[in-house]
Structure 1
Amino acid sequence: MISSSIFLGMVGPWQWVIIGLAVLLLFGGKKIPELMKGLGSGIKEFKDASKEDEKPEDKKK
């Protein structure tokens, strides 16, 4: 029996190419920039929200 943790470290360059092609086929070339823009704005909002949560703790100390 092969552990699933072995497979996590075995992602090489050809596997990334296959994953990229699969994403391209699933979403199409026009949707990928929109998806990345949405992902980027989501990450930015998360960072801003986490910074706002840290500020009140600093003032209490």
Structure 2
Amino acid sequence: MGLPAGSEIIILIIVALVIFGGSRLAGIGKGTGRAIREFKEETASLRSGKKDDKAEQASAEDSTPPAPQPTRRDDVVDAEVVDPPTEPRRDA
């Protein structure tokens, strides 16, 4: 079995139009094209080398401010008081 011929492709297109409709089929094509474009961009960036990635990471680390250190507080703001049981436990 080889690739579909001209008449088979036309039949497949007609079936796809009947199943999905014109607008949904156009959206599927647009999404597929966008995914292919993003995939090509990512593979091109991987081929360009790791040097660019390391430079970008270094510049990103320089631009982010350090995380604030948590402060310790001795007082309790929100707490629930739990009363001990009123009856003592009986052991058998």
TM range (shorter): 0.7 to 0.9
Identity, % of aligned positions: 25
Q: CA deviation at 1:43?
A: 0.4
Aligned equivalents of 1:35, 1:53: Cα separation in 2? 27
Alignment-mate amino acid for residue 11 of structure 1: P
Deviations 1:18-60 (A, max 9, x none): 100111111101111111110010000000000010011688x
Partner of 2:55: none
| Structure 2: gaps spanning 5 or more residues | 53-92
Q: 1:41 to 1:14 in 2, by over 3 A?
A: same
Q: Under a length normalisation based on structure 1, what TM-score does the superposition of the two structures give?
A: 0.73
Question: Residues 5-16 of structure 1: matches in 2 within 5 Å?
Answer: 7=1, 9=2, 11-16=4-9
Residue 46 of structure 2: aligned partner = 53
Residue 11 of structure 1 aligns to a residue whose secondary structure is coil
Call closer, same or farther: CA 1:15–1:48 in 2, change over 3 Å.
same
Q: Secondary structure at the match of 2:22?
A: coil
From 27, 44, 47, the counterpart of 2:37? 44
Moved over 3 A (4+): none
Structure 1's 25 and 47: CA in aligned 2 closer, same or farther, altered over 3 A?
Answer: same
TM-score of the aligned structures, taking structure 2 as reference length: 0.50
More helix by share: 1
- Structure 1, unaligned runs of 5 or more: 1-6
